[in-house]
Every structure is written in C-alpha cells, then in structure tokens.
Structure 1
C-alpha cells in the first residue's frame, strides 16, 4: 500500500494523467502502426483497431518493461531524491505525465504526428531542471536518445529502401510478377516472424519466465519458428494465394476486356506495315526502292504511338494507369502479406511506446509503495497492462485523426511499398527496444514512408507536409518540457502547503 498517506493525491492524479497520456499515444501513434495499411486499403479502420488492441497489449506486456526501465532510470538519477525528498520525486513524475499528456492531446487535436518519446523525455527533463538544474541528468543516455531521433528515421528509411529495391528487382519489374512473389512469400513471413520471436524471447517477459531462456534457446526458438513458418506458408498459403489471385485477375480482365500482349502488338504491327509496303510497291510498278526505310520507320512509330495510347486509356479505366499503383496480382499478393506486417508494427509500437506512458507511473508507484526512489523493484505487469488499455482506447476513439496524415497525405501507399515501410520501421523499433533505447516510432515510420515514397516515385512525396511534421517534432521537446516545469511549480506549492 501507499507508504505515506500524504502522497495519495499524487498517486491518484498520476494514474489519471498516465491514462490520458496512454490515450493520446494510442490516438496519435496508431498512425505508426496501421496508417500505411489503412492508406493502402489493405485493412479498414475497424480492423486496424481490433488488431491494434490485441497486439499493442501483447507488445506492452512482453517487451515494454525494457524501455520503461530506461525512461524511469536512465534520463535522470532517482537516487538524488532520497532522504526526505521522495515527495518531490513523486511530484516530478506527476509533472512529467501532466506535461507530456497535455501536449500529446493538443497535437492529436491538430492532427500532427508527434513523438511520444520526445514528449516524455522533454517533460522528465523539465521537472528535473526545476528542482536540480542540470545536476543528475544522465547525459550519456540522453545523448543516445537524442542521436536516435536523427539516426532512426534515416536507418529505418534505408532498411525500407533496401527491402523495396529487392522486391522491385525480384518481383515488381517482372513481366509476370506473381510466381516470383509467391516464391519469396515464405521468406518474407519467416523473416518477419524471426524478428518478432527474437524480440519476445531475448531477455523477455519476467512474468512468462522468458528472461530465463538461455541465448542458444532463444536462437532455436527464433529460427526454428521461422523455418516452420516458411514450410507452412509454402505448403498451405502459397497454393491458396496463387489460386485466389489468378481468379481475381481473370475476373478483372473479363470485366474490362482482355489486353493484348505487347509482343503480339508489335508482330501484328510489323505484318500490317509490310503489307502496306507491298501494296504501295505494286501500285508504283514494283518500284520498291522508292519506299525507303525512313518512311517505314515513321509509319511504325505512328502506329506504335496509337497502340500505346489505346492501351493507356484501357489501363486508366481499369484503375491501373497510375504508375504509382501496384498491378492487380502484386496488390493481391502483398495485401495478404501486409496484414502480418501491420501486426508486426503494432507489436513493436506497444513494446516501445507503452513505456512512454507508464515509465514515470512505474517510478511514481514504486516510490509511493516502498518509500524509496531507488527504483530497484521490477516493472509490475499490471501497470504495463494499464498502459496498454489506455493506448487501445485512444486508438478506437481518436485514432483515425492522424492516420490519414501518415497513410494518405504524406505519400501514396500501395501494398508492396506499405509492406516495405512497415517491416523496415518495425525492425528498427524492435532492435532499439531490445537494446533499451526509447526511439520514436513516429520518426521511424515517417522516415520509411518518405524514403520509399521518394524511391518509388520521385514526385509522390508531399514535402510541404513533411516540413510541417519536422517542425512539430522540433517543438515537442521544449513545449512538453515547459508544461512539465510549470506543473512542477504548482505541485511543489501544493506540497509545501500540505506539509507546513
């Protein structure tokens, strides 16, 4: 129970502020998990909310404790708040929750995809500097976090670009992309699952005793699970997808009319030109030399342009004329696959960003129940669940506000590019989560969206919107820090009034 009854009001307000913060994270950062999937028309908003609720919670419980420890121990030194100053430490964590939750709700209302990590780190520094100035700040850990804010978008973008170029070469540019895509499908699933399994089992949940699994056991579970997944996908999923996509393409062609193959067009064109040449030659008393090669080439060029024009008009009617769109068989293949990557991203988001909501709350709760700010106790699982519930509710109630910005406005998302964006960004987030660095999922996802959008189609990125997003990132830390500092002054005044 509460160590000192005079701290009860701080604990109650702390839980309320943490829930509002978690709500804001769900409403704002849901775009990082499912914005690209909804934008690519792979899943609906309702489906995104259902999947998000399940896997945000799973990520929070299984992975979230690692980053929570960084938030509550690494940014400032809790040991400074000992020997009678624990109440100040409690008020500080309440200030951090208050400052960050206010800014995140305001940013969500303005449809700005800001970083929850920036917000909580800035708010933590804000209250600390009110009490101790620059003393006690973990500059090394803070420098790592600050560097990750710039490195993570670039790193995530490069990973996504590399994956997109690989898929582009091996699948998208092929004349018949379905079979190459189906051959790679088991590999895609195995890779995605391997990263997920490793993040769960490597120094994982204390509740499930995953932290007791030796490293070799983690590797066996990771690669064994991935290999088994690849076999199952090859046996069951690939034939089903081949049949399903072929039926879909056949129905589409039947509805709009069969399009002639390009080689057949050229052959037919050549025959027509040769016949015209012979007719002209006969009409001119077989003076075939008068029909020079230049005239023949001009006739061929004109006819080819006419055929291309006709084919382009047909493509536009079929919704395939935009070069930024996936072909039907490619879209069918990656739509099925992107469901898994959306889940992957949601799990990563829950593991990384739930700590932003409950890191200060854990510090507050442990201090309030033990009477010490030393923070040696483990993260309570029920607090992780509490944060996950708040994120899920925010996702359902307000999630679509920022989702449109990430999934539609910044650049055009297709199933193939969306898959690369989600895998690249989620891989970056999960690696950082296991290291214990609370990087921003917002930065990772935006970096991947912009980089892949630029590579896929040079004119498809809304650079003005991208500039506005960066400006929102820049002001997040000082605004949340300022709000936290103001809150700290108010809470300290209340503490002085109650103790005097």
Structure 2
C-alpha cells in the first residue's frame, strides 16, 4: 500500500469518526424529544379513548379535554412521585435503572388496577364544600383548573429536580379553584391546617425512623468485631420487621378495594407475617453469608434482595393509593358531565383508572430517571443498608400517620428518610472523629468552604427540595385560580 493510499484511508477514518460523533450527539440531543413525543402521543390516545367510551354527544368535548389533562397529570406522577420508591434502591446499586423502571411500572399499574380505591373524594380530602358552587359547569371548570395547574406544577418541579407531593399539588389546585369560584368561605381551613402540618410531620418522622434503624444497624452489626456473625443474628430480624410492617401497610392502605381491614386485625396479620418471614429468612441469610469476608462491603449482599422487595411493595401501595387522588378531578368531571350533579364522592370508571395507571408507567419510563438519580444518589450517598432504612421508615410512618389520622405525603416521608440517613451519618462521623481525636489537628487547618464541601448531605439539594415543598400548595393554588378565571371567562355562561 502506497503512502498516498494510507493517507486516503486515514482521511476516511477521520471522516467516519466525525460522522459517528455527529450521530451520537444527535441521538443525545433528540432523546428528550423522543420522550416528549411519546408523552404527547399518550395524551392524544387518552383523548380518543375518552371519546370512544363517553361517546360524541353533548358535553363530550369537556370529557375529552379532561382525559387529555388527566393523562398529562399521570405522566408527571410517573416522572416525579415514583422516584421516591425506586431512587434509594437504584442509588444503593441494588437495582439497575432499567430494572427499577420495569418493576415500578408493573407494581404501580398493578396497585392502581387491582387494589386502587374505586371511590374517590372529588374535593380532595374534603377541603372545599361542593355546595358553594353555583352550577355544575362552574364545578367542572374548577376541577379542570385543578387538574391543569397541579400537572403543570409537578412538571416544573421535575424539570428543576425537586421531588414534590402530587397529592399536595392536587390539594392546592382544588383549593385555588374553589376560592376563585366560590370564595374563601368554601375552604375547610381545619383540613388545610392538617395538611400544612404534614409538611413538617412527614419528613421529620420519616427521617427520625430511618435514622433510628441506621443507628441500630451500625451499633449491632457494622461496628461489631465479627460483622458476619452479627448479621446472621440480626438481619433476619430486620427482614421479619420489614415483612410485618409491609403486611400491615398493605392491609391498611393498599388493599381497601379488595377487603376492608381495621388497624387492630392488620397488626395481628403483620405480626404473623413478620414471625413467619423471620423463620424463613434465617436459613437464607446463613447460607448467603457463608464465605463472606468480615467487612462492611460484604454486608451489602445480605440487604440487596430485601431492598428490592421493599421497593416493589412501596410501588404497589403507591399505585393503590395515590393514583386515585391524581385522577380524582378527572373522575369528578366525568361524573358531573354524565349525571349533571355535583357529588362529594364518585366512583372511578375503569377507563379513568387505566389512564392513570398507564400514564404513570409512560411517565416513569420517559422522564423518571432524572428524579430517581436525584433521590438515590445526589442528596446523599446510599448503600443497601441505608436504602433499606429509608424504605422501612416510609412504610412505618404511613402506618403511624394513619393511626393518628394525619394526612401525610409519601414523597415527603421517603425523601425525609434520605435526609435522616444522611444527617445521622454526618452526626455519627463527627462523633466518632471526636472520640478518636482525629479531627482536632485537621479541623483548624480546613477552610470553612472545605468543611461545608465535606458534608454528607448536599445542602443545595436540601434547600431546593424544602423550598419546593413549602410553596407546592400555594403555587398550585395560585396557578389554579388563574386557569379557572381563564376557563370560566372563555366558556362560562
């Protein structure tokens, strides 16, 4: 081969590399557009489904529009809310991103369709009085405004990387539209006060319980001289606690459609399931721990499977509970348009629940990875033990809140658990460093900026998320009022 031939081949290789780089860049840039296109296609299909089921008679246009916006809301739930259940497992490397998306999509859909409540409060936890509306059409525009505003707010929160409560977004949307339509007197301010209190109670309680379990694991397993022997003794106990707690959680919150179980019988069920799981998991942990080295890294293997199962159960329970809240305004619009009356509670048509379930799956697949990475790895570093504490605290907090009658947010609980684990690690690290006299000579030499950088919880994410939580209800309410005035001004009589 002549030098001229070699030169031409090198030129061709450089050109092919440029083409390959351009194709890769094009694919990267077009990826968000693919998600946008899939989401838009799903919304259009939801509108066609509503037209097919409801018919093309008088008032069908309102139902079709509501179905489109309901699909938009479901997409945003999948993109934002589901990250709270799967983020810790992905951040701990117990699940890949693809595996988490598949499990969450299946479990969320199953929870919504199999165990989701078939009756939903159209006024979102009784925060406004339906009697305050002058006409059924005014109520429809209020519910439409609530649907649009809550979806837009969750979409904005996802874009800035803040996990927020979709239920609180719907509450804010309903409140804002209710005030715009019927005045301040229509709002049940006692219920709103309880919801506002849950902004503090949910994350603090979730964080405290997660920190407590992490303290237990560190004290009785990680800091022991023989870690593997300690794990054989205590990991089956922790797995039994997890199984019992989730049995109570699903009995109380996740299976209301199939069977109604009070808290007392649910606790007995949880005790039986917990003991049985302990007896079954003991030989499994013994076998799994054989040959493991006596170090912290080996312990992660023992928590992997329980963490995956807990994430799946949290997704099932989330689908059973929160999807109904999200499609509540859509169900209210369908009922009012069909029967011409305003009802405090309505049955959710199966096609409405299908839109909610499928929308969550589509939203999770197309837009969910951003928030999953945020919750799982960008707030604080998680491993299987820490992520397990977060999942367990979420279930326990919901049970305690149900017993106390407090309205809580699964989003606030899960993210609060992540914060609790991170802040406990900061405190424990500082305490152990002082005890061993390791930080005294170095602390004086470290600049304040460097000491802040070494914090185990990223303060920028903490402040962004807390700020988003605080303004969720007022922001959704203000946006909803604006949307209501626009809709009522254009279509109102």
Name the TM tier (shorter chain): 0.7 to 0.9
Deviation at 1:171, TM superposition (A): 0.8
- Looking at CA atoms only, which structure, 1 or 2, has the larger radius of gyration? 1
Q: 2:480 aligns with which of 476, 481, 484?
A: 484
Q: 2:388 aligns with which of 409, 419, 423?
A: 419
Does residue 494 of the first structure (1) align with residue 490 of the second (2)? yes
Give yes or no for contact 1:161–1:455 (8 Å, CA) kept in 2. yes
What is the alpha-carbon root mean square deviation over aligned residues? 2.8
Which residue is equivalent to 1:298?
A: none
Which residue is equivalent to 2:24?
A: none
Does residue 75 of the first structure (1) align with residue 134 of the second (2)? no
Report 1:134-213 matches (<5 A): 134-202=184-252, 205=255, 207-208=257-258, 210-211=259-260
Larger relative contact order (CA 8 Å, sep ≥ 6): 1
Q: Deviations over 1:292-316 (max 9, x none)?
A: xxxxxxxxxxxxxxxxxxxxxxxxx
Which residue is equivalent to 2:282?
A: 234
Which residue is equivalent to 1:21?
A: 73
Q: Distance in 1 between matches of 2:64 and 2:273?
A: 43
SS of the aligned residue for 1:439 comes to coil
How has the CA–CA distance of structure 1 residues 205 and 453 changed in structure 2, closer, same or farther, with 3 Å as cutoff?
closer
Which residue is equivalent to 2:379?
A: 410
How has the CA–CA distance of structure 1 residues 152 and 177 changed in structure 2, closer, same or farther, with 3 Å as cutoff?
same
Give yes or no for contact 2:112–2:353 (8 Å, CA) kept in 1. yes
Q: Distance in 2 between matches of 1:393 and 1:432?
A: 30
Deviation at 1:486, TM superposition (A): 1.7
How has the CA–CA distance of structure 1 residues 141 and 4 changed in structure 2, closer, same or farther, with 3 Å as cutoff?
farther
Report 1:348-497 matches (<5 A): 348-380=317-349, 382-432=351-401, 438-458=407-427, 459-496=455-492
Give yes or no for contact 1:68–1:355 (8 Å, CA) kept in 2. yes
Give yes or no for contact 1:410–1:462 (8 Å, CA) kept in 2. yes
SS of the aligned residue for 1:112 comes to coil
Does residue 53 of the first structure (1) align with residue 115 of the second (2)? no
SS of the aligned residue for 2:343 comes to coil
Deviation at 1:231, TM superposition (A): 2.1
Say how many residue pairs are matched: 414
Which residue is equivalent to 2:117?
A: 65
Q: Distance in 1 between matches of 2:404 and 2:335?
A: 23
Q: Distance in 1 between matches of 2:394 and 2:123?
A: 21
Q: Distance in 1 between matches of 2:321 and 2:407?
A: 6
Which residue is equivalent to 1:34?
A: 86
Which residue is equivalent to 2:180?
A: 130
Give yes or no for contact 1:72–1:363 (8 Å, CA) kept in 2. no
Which residue is equivalent to 1:317?
A: none
Deviation at 1:192, TM superposition (A): 2.0
Q: 2:272 aligns with which of 206, 224, 241?
A: 224
Deviation at 1:141, TM superposition (A): 1.5
Deviation at 1:7, TM superposition (A): 3.1
Report 1:278-357 matches (<5 A): 327-357=296-326
Deviation at 1:71, TM superposition (A): 5.3
Q: Deviations over 1:345-364 (max 9, x none)?
A: 32343244323421212222
Give yes or no for contact 1:3–1:370 (8 Å, CA) kept in 2. no
Question: Where in structure 2 are there 5+ consecutive unaligned residues?
Answer: 1-52, 428-454
Q: Distance in 1 between matches of 2:305 and 2:125?
A: 41
Q: Distance in 1 between matches of 2:351 and 2:250?
A: 18
Q: Deviations over 1:45-74 (max 9, x none)?
A: 111111111222243346653994385351
Give yes or no for contact 1:61–1:205 (8 Å, CA) kept in 2. no
SS of the aligned residue for 1:74 comes to coil
SS of the aligned residue for 1:340 comes to helix
Q: 1:94 aligns with which of 144, 167, 180?
A: 144
Deviation at 1:430, TM superposition (A): 5.0
